[in-house]
Amino acid sequence: MKAVVTVMLKDGVLDPQGKAIGHALHGLGFSGVGEVRAGKVIELDLAETDADRARQAAEEMARRLLANTVIESYSVRIEG
């Protein structure tokens, strides 16, 4: 199974990269852009064939390594 882990800075944590991207987009003329947040996407190929267990494993990986839960939140999507 494939697990896709998305890691984002938590709401309220200053995201200077997102801000810089937003400024650059405004500079390009995309005036309708509001807040921009930047994060990471981590794709995992898992040997596990059960979707629930794959999700559990990926969430454990996110908690222990992929995200720093002091500053980041994560979400896991399982693809077949």
Partner 1 sequence: MKAGIVLFPGINRERDMAIALTLASGSKPRMVWHKETDLSGLDLVVVPGGFSYGDYLRCGAMAAQAPVMRAVRDFAAAGGYVLGVCNGFQILTEAGLLPGALLRNAGLRFLSMDCHLRVERSDTVFAGHYQKGQVFRSPMAHGDGNYIADPATLDRLEGEGLVAFRYATPQGEVSEAANLNGSARNIAGIYSPNLRILGLMPHPEDLVDPLMGGTDGKPLFDGLAAAFAQAA
Q: Which residue ranges make up the site for partner 1 (CB under 8 A)?
A: 9, 13-14, 16-17, 20, 65-66, 68, 70-71
Q: Which of 8, 39, 40, 37 is nearest to 20 (CA)?
A: 37
What's the closest the beta carbon of residue 4 comes to partner 1, in angstroms? 16
What's the closest the beta carbon of residue 67 comes to partner 1, in angstroms? 9
Q: How distant, in Å, are the alpha carbons of 19, 34, 49, 60, 64 from that of 79? A: 31, 31, 11, 17, 21
Locate all alpha helices (DSSP H) within 1-80, ordered by sequence: 16-27, 51-61
For partner 1, the closer of residues 17 and 75 by Cβ is 17
What's the closest the beta carbon of residue 80 comes to partner 1, in angstroms? 26
For partner 1, the closer of residues 14 and 52 by Cβ is 14
Residue type, 76: V
